[in-house]
Amino acid sequence: MPYVAYTIMGKGGVIAVLLMVFQAITSAMSSETVAVTSLVTYDFYRSYINPEATGKQLVFVSHIAVVAFGLIAAAIAVGLVYAGTSVSFIVTAIGIVIDGAVIPSACTLCWRKQNKYAVTLVPLLSSIASIGTWIGVAYHRSGVISIATLSDFIPTVAGNMLALLAPVVLTPLITYIKPEDYDFEKFKELKQVDDTAFAIDIKDGNPAIKSAVERTEAELQNHEAIERQLLKARNIALGLALFIAISMTILWPIPITRGADKVVRTGVM
């Protein structure tokens, strides 16, 4: 990419690529840090260790999680570099490892019949099957297992497709052995953490910050309006997602592939 940018735009193109890479790395790292910290703080610590945790305790745990995740991520990154892997290989392999959780996760939010065995076992079984297929196809085609052979097109397609499609069969199969009937109305019973400990008293003309409990009570009083807003936001999100999917898979690739056998002039680019 830097060479193409330099050819088309000169030094400014290289600077733009470096800026883009820097923003992509910081954005991805920050979002992953927030996600992992939230899981550790609320889904693990508050759910299983200290259900009555105060706001200050949760903030303390989240700070520890941020530091720990940063150190672990840095250590893994250094290890991958010394192992000779590249970003391209990681992006290729990550889908084979985690795509098995896509269907069970979606069913968790949208299908009340899915049972706990499906949501816990299907991702594991799908990942095991997809990784085995990925490695097996690479070895069958090349006779050796290496980063180069694992990065080949056919093995990666086989692994990714199995990871994504195996749950389509396994999820309903395991679910209908012993289906559940979850009541999604229970989501309304979830309680936000009381952050009144962080409210700022009215001093020197500065308004106090409302606690999460007060905000929750106000939202419950206007529940129907919130439902309408959520429905509108859902429709907008679905429309944008469909537009992006069509653009990335059809509208953009077709013009490029039609001229793939020709040399594209710099001016056209």
Residue-wise pLDDT for 148-160, tens only, equals 888 888 999 999 9
227: containing domain: 222-269
Which residue, 84, 111, 142, sits at the end of a domain?
84
What distance in Å separates the CA atoms of residue 97 and residue 74, rounded to the nearest whole number? 20
Q: Say if residue 71 is in the same domain as residue 91.
A: no
Q: Answer yes or no: is pLDDT of 178 > 70.
A: yes
Position 123 confidence tier, pLDDT thresholds 50, 70, 90: very high
Q: What is the DSSP letter of 91?
A: H
Q: Answer yes or no: is pLDDT of 182 > 50.
A: yes
More confident residue, 86 or 126: 126
Q: Say if residue 45 is in the same domain as residue 79.
A: yes
Q: Say if residue 91 is in the same domain as residue 79.
A: no
CB 98 within 8 A of CB 115: no
Q: What is the pTM of this model?
A: 0.66
pLDDT in tens, 40-54: 998 899 888 988 888
* Buried b / exposed e along 62-77 (16+ C-beta atoms within 10 A): beebbeebeeeeeeee
Quick check: is 216 in a domain? no
CB 171 within 8 A of CB 114: yes
CB 130 within 8 A of CB 162: yes
The predicted model gives 66-94 an average pLDDT of 87
Task: Go through the chain and tell me how many residues it has.
Answer: 269
Q: Say if residue 57 is in the same domain as residue 113.
A: no
CB 225 within 8 A of CB 234: no
Q: Say if residue 95 is in the same domain as residue 171.
A: yes
Q: Say if residue 182 is in the same domain as residue 157.
A: yes
Average pLDDT along the chain: 82
The predicted model gives 234-247 an average pLDDT of 92
Q: Answer yes or no: is pLDDT of 186 > 80.
A: no
Among residues of the chain, what percentage have pLDDT more than 90? 35
Q: Say if residue 70 is in the same domain as residue 152.
A: no
